[in-house]
Amino acid sequence: MRLLVIEDELPMRTALVETLSAEGYRVKSATDGISGLEAACTEPFDLVLLDVMMPGLDGYAVCREMRKRGRDMPVLMLTAKGRIDDRVDGLDSGADDYLVKPFSLRELLARVRALLRRREREQAVPEVLEFGTTVIDFRKSSISRGDRIHPLSEKEVGMLRLLAAHAGDTVSREKFLDVVWGYNAFPSTRTVDNFIAVLRTKLEPDPANPVHLVTVRGSGYRLEQDPPPGGRIHQE
């Protein structure tokens, strides 16, 4: 696994590189946002550890530009800014997780492992899923049904990837919050329900009677690519 550390402070950068290297990761480091962005956008990495407070180009700007250029590897933000608004800004800029300094190296490594596991699951999902005349295209972040194309938000893509990785099995609301929203999930399980309702308007021919994005009562949701004849699935 190749990791990129973007950190302007030498002591922290050295500690991160040494700790991650000792765990067997191949680590490259960058000393500022500009060089870090260049590396992230031109070289293959499995994960980026990104400091927020850097001169010139801060971590928020780096992450936004990475996502704009189509770089989808997980990003773990590292910062001393621990207010909820700061964390929300980090996650909204495209980061997958947010760790506040000072932090323990054990927790850092646990977060890294969790993000890499999530990455492996996502990569196991086909880039295109077909449901009869409905097509989910993860490359284009869209759902097409007949002659209509519905764009998907980053969170919607994450939810569908998670469902596809567990096709036929139930994904709990808590699992959605942990995997899609990140380790410190601020939304409630009701947020998941609201996102599912929107996804059904894009995926289902009849959102009021879903046959693909099925509710498992008291547990969560399940993705069915091949509904039974007649198109009606019992909502468990």
Q: Which of 19-28, 88-97, 113-122, 149-158 has the lowest mean pLDDT?
A: 113-122
pLDDT, tens digit, 9 for 90 and up, residues 124-142: 678 899 887 889 999 899 9
We report the CATH number of the domain holding residue 186 as 1.10.10.10
Whether 7 and 111 map to the same domain: the answer is: yes
* Residue 230 maps to a domain: no
Is 172's pLDDT higher than 50?
Answer: yes
Residue 152, helix vs strand vs coil = coil
* pLDDT above 50 for 231: no
Residues 60 and 157 in one domain: no
Q: Is residue 20 part of a domain?
A: yes
Do 68 and 6 have their domain in common?
yes
CATH for 75 = 3.40.50.2300
Whether residue 112 is found in the same domain as residue 150: no
Least-confidence region, from 59-63, 156-160, 180-184, 186-190: 180-184
Same domain, 116 and 10: yes
Question: CA 187 to CA 168: how far, in whole Å?
Answer: 26
* 123 against 178, higher pLDDT: 178
Last residue of a domain, one of 81, 96, 123: 123
Asked if residue 97 is part of any domain, the answer here is: yes
Q: Which domain holds residue 189?
A: 128-223
SS3 call for 1 = coil
Q: What is the DSSP string of 106-149?
A: HHHHHHHHHHHHHHHHHHTS-SEEEETTEEEETTTTEEEETTEE
Domain boundary among 123, 146, 174: 123
| Whole-number Å distance between alpha carbons of 178 and 53 | 26
Q: Is residue 204 part of a domain?
A: yes
Residue 236 within a domain: no
> Of 65, 89, 123, which residue is a domain's last?
123
Tell me if 216 is assigned to some domain.
yes
User: What average pLDDT does this structure show over 132-153?
Assistant: 91
Give me the mean pLDDT over the 181-190 stretch: 66
Does some domain include residue 232? no
pLDDT for 225 equals 78
Q: How many domains does the chain have?
A: 2
Same domain for 135 and 25:
no
Cα atoms in the Cβ-side hemisphere of radius 13 Å centred on 40:
31
In a domain, 78, yes or no: yes
What was the pLDDT predicted at 201?
95
